[in-house]
Structure formats: C-alpha cells, structure tokens
Structure 1
Amino acid sequence: MIAGLILALIAGSLVSLQNIFNNRVNEKTGSWSTTTLVLGMGFVASLSMSLIVEGKGTFNIQNMEPWYWISGLIGVGVVICLVQATRLLGATFAISIVMTSQLGFALLWDSLGWLGLEKVPFTKNQLIGVVVIVGGILVFKLGGKHEQQEAA
C-alpha cells in the first residue's frame, strides 16, 4: 500500500510538472505541435525503457482487446485539453479541476463496474469527499477575490 501511495504522489507531481512544461512549449509552438512533441517524445522514451526492461516481451500484445488501442487517442485529448485549460485558467486551477474530474469519473466507473473494473459500491462518504474537494477548489479560486479587490 505504501508503494502505491508513493507512486501516486510521484505521478501527481509529474502530471503537474508536465503540464507546466507543456504550457511553455505551447506558448512558443501551438497546441498541436506541443501535443505531437509531448506524445512523440513519450513514445520514444517509453519504447526505449520497455525494450530495456521487457525486451521482446514489449511486443506481446496478442491478448489485448482491440478497443484498448484508443488509449493513445485519449492521450491526445488529455494533452490538448490540459494545455488549453492551463492557458485559460492557470496551472493550479486547471490541475485542480482535472484532478477533481479524474476522481469523479473514476468513482463513476468504479461504482458502475465499467471498462472491466470490479464494481465498487457507491457510498455517501465518497460523495461527501468529492463535494469537499469541489468546495476546496471554489474556496481556492474564489476566496482571494475579496482581498484582491481591496488591494486594488
């Protein structure tokens, strides 16, 4: 469990870091160039690491469902949407909404048992948790407006 928590924390920090870098690239090149660069470099890096770690096992994909191949297309949507959201909202606000959306949809898919996930019962506590996170985002985003207006 500890290893899972540590990996999740690392993933969260890397997503935030990548989002900042992607935004900087987008300022110089544009959304589609950024997406191509990010996913292209990710492909090269992951293929290289996979070949080093798994060797020929990298290409053992016979038992994969065909519809799983759309994952790469989903990645294009993720990068494009994140780059644009960061440009329009700022990094912290965009990432907080992304994380809340991830949590909400993961809860939905778990609760319904969609996409091959084991069905997990939906509880009131889970709903309260999501509502508290949304409330936190609203406090974060809207809470400082009064102080900003007074300072101006």
Structure 2
Amino acid sequence: MHYFFLLLAFLIGVTNTFQSGVNSQLRLATQNPILSSILSFATGLCVLLVCYLLFNKDAIPSFETFRSISWWKWLGGVFGAFYVLTVILIVKEIGPANLLCLIIAGQLVAGVLIDHFGWVGFAVHPMNIWRIFGIGLIILGGVLVLKN
C-alpha cells in the first residue's frame, strides 16, 4: 500500500475536523447555516476551478456526455451539501469529537456494506469476522468518547 495515500487519508480526517469548526464559525458570522454552506461550497468551487485550469489537459466533455450520466451519479454533490449543512447545524451542539466519532462509525459501517455488496462500482470485498470486529471496536470507541 502506498504510504503517501495513507497519509492523505489521515490528512482528510484532520482537515475534515477543522472544516467543521471553520464552517461553524462561518455560520456564526453569517447567522445562516444555509448561506454558510453556500459560501463554503463556493470557496471550494473556486479552488477546484483554479486546479482544473492549471492541471487539466483534457478537453471539456460535450453537453451530451453530461446528459448521458445516470441520475444517481450526481448524488455526490447532494451528499456533500447534506454533510456540510448538517455539520454546521450540529457541531456546536455535540462537539467535534462526538461528531467525528459518529461520522467515522457511519462511514465504516457504510464502507463495509459497500465493499461487501460491491455497490456504486466498487470491487467486492466480503464481510468477515475481522471487519465486523473492527466495526464493533469503532462503535465501542465512539461510545467511550460520547460518554466521557
């Protein structure tokens, strides 16, 4: 396994935690969770557009290509909006540690199920006792963090 990718995955977790706090502060500044979400996405869009312009060498796909994309493949943006908005709404109420414990538990359960069934184009990695045990440990860790 490439250590660089493992490091990037870890950094996603770190930045994800800071994103929760930054977006929560943006909500306080704007006094509106939906506007804060829009501003967060707009900032991200600007960064991605700059990256696209600097690093993309391929031609932009045709309009017909975009029209032919299955409806469910557009749900990533919906899920992202759900994530950002709900984090903005609840992080001040439950705190970042509790929030992240529950997010990680949900991600692991979903990840193991997606792996097991090969949903959304992933290769099948059957569920086994070790994966179930790992989920149990994550949930136990989450309970310990939530209770203390």
TM-score where L is the length of structure 2: 0.88
**Shift of residue 87 of structure 1?**
2.3
Q: For residues 94-134 of structure 1, what are the alpha-carbon distances to aligned partners after superposition, in whole Å with 9 as ceiling and x for unaligned?
A: 01111111111011111111111111110111111111111
**Shift of residue 48 of structure 1?**
0.8
Residue 110 of structure 1: aligned partner = 115
**Shift of residue 60 of structure 1?**
3.3
**Structure 1 position 27 matched with structure 2 position 44:** no
Residue 147 of structure 1: aligned partner = none
**Shift of residue 35 of structure 1?**
0.6
Alignment partner of 1:74 out of 64, 76, 79: 79
**8 Å contact kept, 1:113–1:119:** yes
CA distance in 1, matches of 2:74, 2:144: 39
Q: For residues 55-88 of structure 1, what are the alpha-carbon distances to aligned partners after superposition, in whole Å with 9 as ceiling and x for unaligned?
A: 4x26237387333223212211110111122122
Opposite residue 56 of structure 2, the aligned amino acid is E
**8 Å contact kept, 1:111–1:119:** yes
Residue 9 of structure 1: aligned partner = 10
Please, which runs of 5 or more residues in structure 2 have no aligned partner? none
Q: CA RMSD in A?
A: 1.7
Map 1:1-150 onto structure 2 (within 5 A): 1-29=2-30, 30-55=32-57, 57=58, 59-60=60-61, 62=65, 65-67=69-71, 68-142=73-147, 144=148
CA distance in 2, matches of 1:85, 1:58: 41
Please, which runs of 5 or more residues in structure 1 have no aligned partner? 145-152
CA distance in 1, matches of 2:7, 2:130: 24
Identity %: 20
CA distance in 2, matches of 1:74, 1:7: 21
Change (3 A) 1:58 1:52: farther
Opposite residue 102 of structure 1, the aligned amino acid is Q
TM-score where L is the length of structure 1: 0.86
CA distance in 2, matches of 1:132, 1:71: 28
Task: Count matched residues.
Answer: 142
